[in-house]
Amino acid sequence: MKSHVKAVVIGGGVVGCSVLYHLAKAGWTDIMLIERSELTSGSSWHAAGGFHTLNGDPNVAKLQAYTVQLYKEIEEISGQSCSLHLTGGVMMADTPERMDFLRLAHAKGRYLGMDTELITPSEAKAMFPLMDEKNFVGAMWDPVEGHLDPSGTTIAYSKAAKKLGAEIVLRNRVVDLTQQPDGTWNVVTEQGTVHAEHVVNCGGLWAREIGRMVGVELPVLAMEHMYLLTEPMPEVEEFNKSTGREMIGVLDFKGEIYTRQERNGILLGTYEKACKPWSPVNTPWDFGHELLQPDIDRIAPSLEIGFKHFPGIEKAGIKQIINGPFTFALDGNPLVGPVQGLTNFWCACAVMAGFSQGGGVGLALSNWMVHGDPGFDVWGMDVARFGEWASLRYTNAKVRENYSRRFSIRFPNEELPAARPAQTTPLYDTMLANNAVMGDSWGLETPLWFAPKGSEPKDIVSFHRSNDFGPIGEEIRATREKVGVTEIANFAKYEVSGPAAEDFLNRLMTNRMPKIGRIVLTPMVNEFGKLIGDFTIAKSGEDRFMIWGSSAAQKYHMRWFEKHLPKDGSVRIHRFDQTLVGLSIAGPKSRDLLQKLVDVDVSTKAFRFMDFREMAVGGAPCMVNRITYTGDLGYEIWMAPAYQRLVYKAIKEAGAEFGIVDFGMRALLSMRLEKNFPTWFRELRPIYGPFEGSMDRFIKLEKNDFIGREASAKEQAEGPKLRRVSFIVDATDADVMGDEPIWAKVSKDYGTVEKPHGYGAPRFDTTGKEVRGSKAAEGASAVRGIVDGEWRVVGWVTSGGYAHYVQKSMAQGYVPAALAEDESAGLFEIEILGHRRPARINVEPPFDPSGEKMRT
């Protein structure tokens, strides 16, 4: 065993071996994988070996597609078979709602380059004759599904990595990790200490314990999971013989069942409601190649539905039931990337579908370690997406909820109840008393909308407009015509201070920093000129700045800020989280209201649009921004939590004479739509350049050499490939939710534009070939070429909904820039729940297009 290596990968499951392979392939060959026992000694050996490309997050779906395409490559390099069976598979819908869900998934596939197809239950039965098709209303076919040999695949990765120069050390447990003053690591193992620049946690079932070695509680939990194998079935053998094909994979939402052919019989697995965590607090180190005791009673309700839906299986004898543990994060997606607050400590864990996701995880992580950037939009699996609130108990509750809902539909207006309330502001009880329907915003209870007095504050979940539609409209009309108040504690807030604070922010941000008492809006881009942040910044003192941003991105942004912080202590950064809370008042009467509460002049001239002041509001020390996301006249008022109730009470009392109303987050998001304002993680993501994102006026190329300036200048000089545009849609009873395809009938060729997926760093494409330079920025094929006079998918929706004040259904999304800028290119359609609705690009915001109201 070497005593010094560039990187140590802990764990020889499918994920650790994939990370090792990708690091070696990217040129880091001085690397070592350390495994406590034999390879596949965690969950990898007893997996059912199924793989598929579909994922709720299109970016994760693309990495899954990469994983599936990688298997041939590792087979060739290693000489080890993965026993790949690419059978294809179907998802079965038993109700119209589930069919709507499949229509949405199919629509997304149109610009992701997936060849899914909506088919009838009879067509599905022809490929899987054991089902009773009368139980279903429709299905979606995906040709890129199948199964493989889990152990063979893990070994193929490991052999391929070894061929490229990586070392693998078996039967050697990592017992401790200690960091040196220079940021390097001592990896203490049973066989001695290895010094490494980087450490990767691929500990699978023990990932949580490895996190604890460095003082981190990762939000990951193992769950028991069962699948059964039947005796050989004559029906299966007969089907194989008569068609020359294997039976396909089938996913049954209602039964929470997946099933496929295994040898001459059937494998059937369940995600049962009565699920059970395994080792909820500590994972025993002596757990090895063992299985857990099967518990057929727990899966009996799923089996009952399964046998009704697939009567052919019921007759078969059960040969074996496998019960094994594997890990999940809160939302079921992996935890990947550098852990904020630590140097060179990386994670690739909570990978619940190692044989669908392992390759993509390995590729993204190796890009990140070698080139400083994952090369893909990996937010959906970034370890930074959860905050401190994701404690051990929170994780336990949320993972159980996620497991039991694995095959359930999540409606766009559905809030999930487990582990709530976790964090609350001082106004929580007041909001409940006001009949607020609360939602979870990065672990914080936040009012979404207010149900009419006397009615139950509860969403009726739906893909269509629902019971919040009327009340949100009322909240908006009262705000736009009089004044409204809302809680904004869920925004991220930071203070940057110190003698070099301004230089630091100028280096990170694309816009100029404001003068004292003024505010700017500014994107932040990475060195590849892609959007990685969007902030409101106020200069609050000589060497002091307040920053507001997206709540969910707090750790993601802190990681970036810390990476670029000068080492000499000349800049300090503080994240407030819930030690600073806020209220926003908006509407034409908001200034009159504020004036009643303060002892300073807040008239138009004294307190201008985009001004920042510290002032007492209702007697409480506050910071006030003259800005609001509603795009109206309005203010954001920030205070310590101890003052929030006082300020809220003062606002409501003083606002009574103006007819003040409470409004929630959904009203706020609707109001931003009619101003064409983008949102972070929807319109603005690291796959788009700032000019593509139509953020042109916030990019000051001449101000200084900010990170990403060169790439941004190039984007501007060459012209953006895509453009974020806003649409008005002729919708009926359902609005866009995000990720719908945009169609156009065009008479010119605007060039082929693909949905970007990868960017920046040199990386490997979806066929496993290394791509560099401009090709690397394109990503995998998605939107196909535009042909004269034909309706074609030309873009994708990022978000939208009903803009209540202007009474229009609106959407934002990306289309080819040349098409967006061609006024003669008229006709668009946006696909909502499988129906294509006419849509028009809407250049000027329909509410207050001149911006006069907010500036008055």
793 binds ligand FAD (CB under 6 A): no
Which residue, 10, 58, 17, 47, is CA-closest to 798?
A: 58
Give the span between the Cα atoms of 644 and 23, in whole angstroms: 50
352 binds ligand FAD (CB under 6 A): yes
Among residues 5, 32, 42, 723, the one that binds ligand FAD under rule CB under 6 A: 42
Give the span between the Cα atoms of 438 and 621, in whole angstroms: 27
Q: How far is the CB of 306 from ligand FAD (least distance, A)?
A: 16
Tokens representing residue 478 in the block: 């009262």
Partners of 198 in the β-ladder: 7
43 binds ligand FAD (CB under 6 A): yes
Q: How far is the CB of 229 from ligand FAD (least distance, A)?
A: 11
Among residues 156, 353, 513, 583, the one that binds ligand FAD under rule CB under 6 A: 353
Which residue, 783, 841, 581, is CA-closest to 110?
A: 783
Q: Which stretch binds ligand FAD (CB under 6 A): 196-204, 517-525, 625-633, 828-836?
A: 196-204
Residue located via tokens 């269509």: 464
402 binds ligand FAD (CB under 6 A): no
Parallel/antiparallel/unpaired status of strands 50-51 and 146-147: antiparallel
206 binds ligand FAD (CB under 6 A): yes
Which residue, 359, 414, 684, is CA-closest to 553?
A: 684
173 binds ligand FAD (CB under 6 A): yes
46 binds ligand FAD (CB under 6 A): yes
Q: How far is the CB of 291 from ligand FAD (least distance, A)?
A: 8
Q: How far is the CB of 500 from ligand FAD (least distance, A)?
A: 41
Q: Which stretch binds ligand FAD (CB under 6 A): 41-49, 313-321, 582-590, 776-784?
A: 41-49
The residue (of 222 and 369) whose beta carbon lies closer to ligand FAD is 222
428 binds ligand FAD (CB under 6 A): no
686 binds ligand FAD (CB under 6 A): no
Among residues 10, 32, 431, 547, the one that binds ligand FAD under rule CB under 6 A: 10
Among residues 305, 322, 616, 701, the one that binds ligand FAD under rule CB under 6 A: 322
48 binds ligand FAD (CB under 6 A): yes
Q: C-alpha distances in angstroms, 252 versus 85, 92, 98, 408, 410?
A: 20, 5, 10, 10, 16
The residue (of 326 and 576) whose beta carbon lies closer to ligand FAD is 326
Q: Which stretch binds ligand FAD (CB under 6 A): 105-113, 200-208, 387-395, 825-833?
A: 200-208
Q: How far is the CB of 556 from ligand FAD (least distance, A)?
A: 22
Among residues 9, 25, 28, 41, the one that binds ligand FAD under rule CB under 6 A: 41
83 binds ligand FAD (CB under 6 A): no
The residue (of 34 and 786) whose beta carbon lies closer to ligand FAD is 34
CB 374: neighbour CB atoms within 10 A? 27
Among residues 7, 9, 15, 140, the one that binds ligand FAD under rule CB under 6 A: 15
Among residues 253, 328, 355, 463, the one that binds ligand FAD under rule CB under 6 A: 355
227 binds ligand FAD (CB under 6 A): yes
Distance of CA 812 to the CA centre of its chain: 18
Which residue, 384, 308, 388, 313, is CA-closest to 347?
A: 384
Q: C-alpha distances in angstroms, 285 versus 37, 172, 289, 550?
A: 10, 12, 12, 39
248 binds ligand FAD (CB under 6 A): no
22 binds ligand FAD (CB under 6 A): no
31 binds ligand FAD (CB under 6 A): no
Residue located via tokens 């669908």: 356
Residue located via tokens 């960091």: 179
Burial (CB count <10 Å: 0-12, 13-18, 19+), residue 185: buried
- Residues 802, 671, 649, CA angle at the centre, nearest 5°? 125
Q: Which stretch binds ligand FAD (CB under 6 A): 248-256, 351-359, 650-658, 811-819?
A: 351-359
13 binds ligand FAD (CB under 6 A): yes
Among residues 7, 14, 299, 817, the one that binds ligand FAD under rule CB under 6 A: 14
Q: How far is the CB of 763 from ligand FAD (least distance, A)?
A: 22
Report the first-to-last Cα separation within the chain, whole angstroms. 71
3-class secondary structure, 284: coil
- How long a stretch of residues is the chain? 856
The residue (of 31 and 47) whose beta carbon lies closer to ligand FAD is 47
Tokens representing residue 392 in the block: 């051990």
Partners of 221 in the β-ladder: 328
Q: Which stretch binds ligand FAD (CB under 6 A): 201-209, 511-519, 746-754, 773-781?
A: 201-209
Among residues 93, 105, 160, 174, the one that binds ligand FAD under rule CB under 6 A: 174
Beta-carbon contacts of 243 under 8 Å, excluding residues fewer than 6 positions away, are none
Residue located via tokens 């911006």: 851
The residue (of 23 and 509) whose beta carbon lies closer to ligand FAD is 23
Residue 183 near residue 195, CB atoms below 8 Å = no
204 binds ligand FAD (CB under 6 A): yes
Q: Which stretch binds ligand FAD (CB under 6 A): 10-18, 55-63, 129-137, 574-582?
A: 10-18
Give the span between the Cα atoms of 93 and 133, in whole angstroms: 10
Tell me, what amino acid is at 233? Answer: M
Residue 613 near residue 607, CB atoms below 8 Å = yes
Q: C-alpha distances in angstroms, 104 versus 118, 137, 627, 727?
A: 11, 16, 36, 19
Parallel/antiparallel/unpaired status of strands 544-549 and 612-617: unpaired
Tokens representing residue 6 in the block: 């560039």
Query: CA 750, 752, 757, 760: dihedral to nearest 10 degrees?
Result: -80
| Residues 330-349 within binding reach of ligand FAD (CB under 6 A) | 349
Among residues 20, 35, 501, 555, the one that binds ligand FAD under rule CB under 6 A: 35
Among residues 310, 326, 345, 727, the one that binds ligand FAD under rule CB under 6 A: 326
| Sequence-ordered strand ranges (E) for 488-627 | 492-497, 519-525, 531-541, 544-549, 572-575, 581-586, 612-617, 620-625
203 binds ligand FAD (CB under 6 A): yes
The residue (of 153 and 726) whose beta carbon lies closer to ligand FAD is 153
| Residues 728-747 within binding reach of ligand FAD (CB under 6 A) | none
Q: C-alpha distances in angstroms, 168 versus 187, 211, 344, 351?
A: 15, 21, 20, 21
Burial (CB count <10 Å: 0-12, 13-18, 19+), residue 3: exposed
Residue 167 near residue 7, CB atoms below 8 Å = no
324 binds ligand FAD (CB under 6 A): yes
The residue (of 12 and 618) whose beta carbon lies closer to ligand FAD is 12
Phi, psi of 590, rounded to the nearest 5 degrees? -65, -30
Q: Which stretch binds ligand FAD (CB under 6 A): 8-16, 509-517, 678-686, 777-785?
A: 8-16
Q: How far is the CB of 609 from ligand FAD (least distance, A)?
A: 51
399 binds ligand FAD (CB under 6 A): no
The residue (of 358 and 439) whose beta carbon lies closer to ligand FAD is 358
Tokens representing residue 582 in the block: 């806020």
Q: Which stretch binds ligand FAD (CB under 6 A): 49-57, 312-320, 529-537, 812-820?
A: 49-57
Which DSSP helix (H) or strand (E) runs through 354?
A: helix 354-371
- In the Cβ-directed half-sphere of 554, how many Cα atoms lie within 13 Å? 22
Judged by CB under 6 A, how many residues of this single chain contact ligand FAD? 42
Q: How far is the CB of 173 from ligand FAD (least distance, A)?
A: 4
Provide the binding-site residues for ligand FAD, judged by CB under 6 A: 10-16, 34-37, 41-44, 46-51, 173-174, 202-206, 210, 225, 227, 322, 324-326, 349, 351-356
